[in-house]
Amino acid sequence: MKLYAIPSPQMTKQDIQSFLAELIVNHQLHKNSQSYDGLILIFCGHGEDENMLVASDGKQISITQLRSSFDCSAMESLKDLPKIFIIDACRGETAPKAYELTTRSRDIQWGHNDDGFLIIWSTTKGHKVADLSLLSKSFKDVVTSKYKSGYPFKQMLQDIRTDIRNKKCSEWYCIESQDTTDYDIIFQQRKSL
């Protein structure tokens, strides 16, 4: 697993667009010459309605447009690989209402252009979050602690939800996932050749 971080938390719209363009070129994603098994992008910051991120200069960036940069038409080399987008940002201005939880302990086929995406949102549409990095931190902690063992991603996502529920401000989070993959995602450490 290779991790690449955005160089600055104060990026303008142009900085973000340049970073993503350089990421695509520097890692040869159009050809996938590095034989990547998938793509994970984490966006952490301010957001607004209609799936928009807000850059440090106040300009909006469409998450839908960012996602389409990696769809099967734009990035054919990744067409059969999972593309996981984690968006840790507000999706509106409505503060959620808290409530007490009660818990119990290979033929030819044609695909859609949007196949292969798993998008994880920190909250449901129209709501804001209190801690703008809680999902990102929890996701990083859980995935880096479990991926070497071949832990199923669905279980990781459940562990992330549980981890967030046990934190302060958890009532602000209602993790939503949108899945157009037709396979199970399992992280495991790549074997060296």
Q: What digits encode the pLDDT tens for the residues 160-170? A: 989 988 887 77
Which structural domains are found in the chain, ordered by start?
A: 13-92+115-179 (3.40.50.1460)
Would you state the pLDDT for residue 15? 92
Would you state the pLDDT for residue 59? 95
- Partners of 179 in the beta sheet? 118
Inform me whether the pLDDT recorded for 9 exceeds 80. no
pLDDT tens column, 27-46: 899 999 989 988 888 888 88
Residue 98 three-state SS: coil
104, with CB counted inside 10 A (0-12, 13-18, 19+), is: exposed
Q: For residues 34 and 27, is the Cβ–Cβ distance under 8 A? A: yes
CA distance 59 to 14: 9
Phi, psi at 143, each rounded to 5°: -65, -45
DSSP state of 125: T
CA distance 156 to 97: 26
**What mean pLDDT comes out for the span 6-28?**
87
pLDDT tens column, 61-87: 998 888 889 888 889 998 888 888 888
State the pTM of this model.
0.64
Place 18 in a pLDDT band, splitting at 50, 70 and 90. very high
Would you state the pLDDT for residue 68? 85
Percent of the chain with pLDDT over 90: 16
Amino acid (one-letter) located at 120 = I
pLDDT tens column, 126-161: 778 777 788 888 988 998 888 888 888 889 999 998
Would you state the pLDDT for residue 107? 61
In the chain, where do the E strands start and end? 39-44, 46-48, 52-54, 60-62, 83-88, 117-121, 176-179
pLDDT tens column, 103-131: 555 566 666 667 788 888 888 777 787 77
CA distance 37 to 68: 19
Inform me whether the pLDDT recorded for 101 exceeds 60. no
